Amino acid sequence: MDRDELTRWALANGWQMIGGHPSLTKPSAPKEAIVRMVFKATLVNVEAKKPAGKWEKVSGAPYGQIAPDEESGLPRGLGFTSLQGFRMLMEDNKDRAVFAKFTGKA
């Protein structure tokens, strides 16, 4: 997967663009990113925001090593399946985005 494919996947799965990066937010603070994908020339990093406000890299991989899972569509190679609480956070963000479409609130 390349940068554009990862961005399309992220936006279709509840991520939102914050500060130029596909990002996930906390349910209690839906405008503040706590997980983001940072695209570099040859690789992508997944970073999490520490309580002190500093971003920490939690995983990363070259674009050539990232492929969508055939069953879930989740990009393999970025550690999404092994990151603690990631799926729940992603599902919450996706649900919030879907319900915002019904209510007209972004």
Per-residue pLDDT of the chain (106 residues; tens, 9 = 90+): 999 999 999 998 889 999 999 999 988 778 889 999 999 999 999 999 998 899 999 999 999 999 998 888 889 888 877 766 777 888 888 887 777 667 665 5
The answer to whether residue 68 is domain-embedded is: no
Structure tokens at 64: 């050539």
Q: The whole model's pTM is what?
A: 0.83
The contacts of residue 101 (CB under 8 Å, 6+ apart) are none
Q: Are strands 29-39 and 16-18 parallel, antiparallel or unpaired?
A: unpaired
Query: Residue 30: what pLDDT?
Result: 80
29 within domain boundaries: yes
Q: Which domain holds residue 12?
A: 3-61+73-103
Q: Is residue 53 part of a domain?
A: yes
Query: Is residue 67 assigned to a domain?
Result: no
Residue 66 lies in a domain: no
Q: Is residue 10 part of a domain?
A: yes
Decide if 52 is inside a domain.
Answer: yes
How many domains does the chain divide into? 1
